[in-house]
Every structure is written in structure tokens, then in C-alpha cells.
């Protein structure tokens, strides 16, 4: 199966720690790289973990707090200095055109950069023949969106035993995969379903950045294979989480449970936690298929 995997480059909250870098992730979808958020030092993490920058074509910024976007000028400048001058599209909140674009324009001379501002809401902001990416509004101290990456359904596979049996010429295979029946020379109709096998089910990944816990998120990410949800605090700090518009590990797990997702991974840890087992245990008590994220980890979707 073609790759669809997520690599964690940073999973700290606003205050980096000696153990964690600010938020950034790389999605490898069929060999094409997408980045979500770009906190300070992201370009160092990319080189550390051997990410092929030449395959990076799209960057998605969830909101304009510095720990999610201040690494962007540095990353693009590094790409310019390395001579990797391919086209890159930056999907960012509309306000980012005023805040970030001037600095990027000034510091990244050799890049062929396209800015694609998105509005705050539920919108498809990127789509091709194989995948669609949509935003969902979150509730933070400034406008913030999550992202859902949904693979499009694949065509069914040809069942060679059946096509050989019925004498189907190879020139018909694509038409059969697209739902056309095969008609034999004697007029017998062989339904296309008899000549194919089901394709693998489409895969999906949801990234939920800084936010209060929202019931609407559970609806938007219903049934995704892999959900990343911020879990900045333990439940003992629920009031602090509410004041700062963040989520506890237990709240993130409740969303995963309500949404019936395949797997939950949590991150965006507060610097008050020297280690995150408290958060993991809290989440697993509600949604057992939960894992912590750490820099350098890769998760298959």
C-alpha cells in the first residue's frame, strides 16, 4: 500500500522545553510531503530526521501564534540557501498575509512561493485526484483551524483470474474499473463487479491544534483512522486549560471516543510536565488506543 504516514517534528506547547520542540508535523502521502505548522527550529528538525525537503510542496498553518508559525521564514530561507527552489504553496489564515507574508517575501528570494489564504470555517482548501484537505474551526484565543486529510476512494482492482476466464482484453481494464460491464462476442454481459475486487478503504488523518474541547470536532473527525488532538494539560489543570483555551488529555480522549476514531495520538504538552505518562494514562482510561507523540516518531495512517 502506498505510504500515508505522519512524522512528528515538534510537540511542545507555547513554551519549548529541553525535551520538546514547538509544533510541526510532516505528512507523507504517496511520496508527496505536506507540512502542518512550522514552529521555531523546524528546519533543524527536518534535517535531523532526514526529511527530503525537495518533496515538500504544501505547508498548512493552523493559526498565527508563534509556536506554530515562527519557523516558517527560517525554513523557507533554508530552502533558498540549499537551492531547493521548487514551487511551495502556503495555506494560512487570511490575517497571515499581513503578518507573515512581508517577512517571507523579504527573506526567501529564490523560492517560488504561492500564498493561499483560507477563511475561518469548514472549507476544502486543497484537493487533487487522490486527496482532499479541509479546515474545521476551533476555539482558541485567536482564530484557529484544524485540518482533515481524506484520501479519495480508489478504483477497484482487476481480478485477473476472472478476466482471463471471460476473455476480457487488457484494453478494457480501465473501463471495467470505472464501472463498465463486459459484453462477450456472443452477447453475454459480465457485470464489472464480477471482474473486480474491492480496493483498500480510503484513509484519513485529522490534526486538531490549540482549542477548547468541541463537540463539533467529534462530528467533523467521525471515523478517521488517526486523530492527533492537543492535550496540553492533565484533568487536574482543567480550569487552567479552560482559561487558556486548551484541552486536557481526558477531554481529547472523550472526543476520540465520541468520534469512534481508529487511533488517538496526543501532543502539545505543557512545559510543567517533566514526562507525559500522566497524560497518557488519563487518556487511555477513556480511549485505550491512545499514544503519546515524541519528536522523530512516525505513525502510519
Q: What is the pLDDT of residues 283-292, one digit of tens each?
A: 999 999 999 9
Q: What is the pLDDT of residues 145-168, one digit of tens each?
A: 999 999 999 999 999 999 999 999
Average pLDDT over all residues of the chain: 93
Task: Mean pLDDT check: name the lowest of 10-24, 61-75, 164-178, 218-232.
Answer: 10-24
Find, among 300, 296, 243, the residue nearest to 270 by Cα.
Answer: 243
SS3 (DSSP) at 43 = helix
Examine the pLDDT at 298 and tell me if it is beyond 90.
yes
All cell numbers assigned to 283: 487518556
Examine the pLDDT at 85 and tell me if it is beyond 80.
no
Q: What percent of the chain has pLDDT over 90?
A: 78
Residue 107: in which H helix or E strand, if any?
helix 101-107
* Residue in the block written with cell 480510503: 202
pLDDT given at position 87: 82
Q: Which of 37, 67, 210, 225 is catalytic?
A: 67
pLDDT given at position 65: 95
Q: CA-CA distances (angstroms) from residue 137 to 69, 146, 211, 285?
A: 18, 6, 9, 28
pLDDT given at position 275: 85
pLDDT given at position 11: 92
CA-CA-CA-CA torsion sign (222, 301, 15, 240): positive
All cell numbers assigned to 276: 507525559
- Dihedral, CA of residue 272, residue 276, residue 281 and residue 284, to nearest 10: 110
pLDDT given at position 131: 97
pLDDT given at position 109: 63
All cell numbers assigned to 73: 521564514
Find, among 125, 100, 82, the residue nearest to 38 by Cα.
Answer: 100
Binned at pLDDT 50, 70 and 90, residue 113 comes out as: confident
Examine the pLDDT at 270 and tell me if it is beyond 80.
yes
Q: Is 67 a catalytic residue?
A: yes
pLDDT given at position 121: 87
SS3 (DSSP) at 97 = helix
The alpha-helical segments, DSSP class H, found in 167-262 are 173-177, 215-220, 238-243, 249-259
Phi-psi region of 214 (alpha: psi -120 to 50; beta: other; left: phi over 0): beta
Examine the pLDDT at 225 and tell me if it is beyond 90.
yes
Q: What percent of the chain has pLDDT over 70?
A: 97
Q: What is the pLDDT of residues 161-199, one digit of tens each?
A: 999 999 999 999 999 999 999 999 999 999 999 999 999
Find, among 272, 271, 292, the residue nearest to 282 by Cα.
Answer: 292
Examine the pLDDT at 40 and tell me if it is beyond 80.
yes
Amino acid at each position: 500500500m502506498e505510504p500515508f504516514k505522519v512524522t512528528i517534528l515538534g510537540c511542545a506547547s507555547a513554551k519549548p522545553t529541553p525535551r520538546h520542540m514547538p509544533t510541526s508535523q510532516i505528512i507523507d502521502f504517496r511520496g508527496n510531503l505536506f507540512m502542518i505548522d512550522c514552529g521555531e527550529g523546524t528546519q533543524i528538525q527536518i534535517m535531523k530526521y532526514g526529511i527530503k525537503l525537495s518533496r515538500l510542496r504544501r505547508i498548512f498553518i493552523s493559526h498565527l501564534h508563534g509556536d506554530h508559525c515562527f519557523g516558517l521564514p527560517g525554513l523557507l530561507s533554508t530552502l533558498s540557501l540549499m537551492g531547493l527552489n521548487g514551487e511551495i504553496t502556503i495555506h494560512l489564515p487570511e490575517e497571515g498575509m499581513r503578518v507573515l507574508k512581508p517577512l517571507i517575501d523579504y527573506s526567501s528570494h529564490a523560492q517560488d512561493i504561492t500564498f493561499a489564504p483560507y477563511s475561518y470555517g469548514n472549507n476544502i482548501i486543497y484537493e487533487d485526484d487522490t486527496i482532499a484537505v479541509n479546515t474545521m474551526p476551533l476555539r482558541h484565543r485567536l482564530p484557529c483551524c484544524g485540518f482533515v486529510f481524506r484520501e479519495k476512494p480508489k478504483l477497484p482492482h482487476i481480478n485477473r483470474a476472472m478476466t482471463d476466464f471471460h476473455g476480457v482484453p487488457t484494453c478494457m481494464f480501465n473501463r471495467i474499473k470505472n464501472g463498465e460491464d463486459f459484453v462477450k462476442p456472443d452477447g453475454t454481459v459480465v457485470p464489472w463487479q464480477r471482474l473486480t475486487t474491492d480496493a483498500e478503504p480510503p484513509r484519513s488523518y485529522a490534526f486538531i491544534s490549540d482549542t477548547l474541547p468541541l463537540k463539533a470536532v467529534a462530528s467533523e473527525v467521525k471515523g478517521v483512522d488517526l486523530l492527533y488532538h492537543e492535550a496540553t494539560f492533565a484533568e487536574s489543570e482543567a480550569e487552567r486549560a479552560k482559561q487558556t483555551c486548551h484541552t486536557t488529555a481526558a477531554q481529547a480522549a472523550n472526543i476520540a471516543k465520541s468520534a469512534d476514531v481508529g487511533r488517538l495520538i496526543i501532543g502539545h504538552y505543557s512545559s510543567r510536565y517533566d514526562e507525559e505518562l500522566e497524560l497518557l494514562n488519563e487518556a487511555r482510561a477513556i480511549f485505550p488506543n491512545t499514544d503519546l507523540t515524541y519528536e522523530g516518531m512516525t505513525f502510519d495512517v
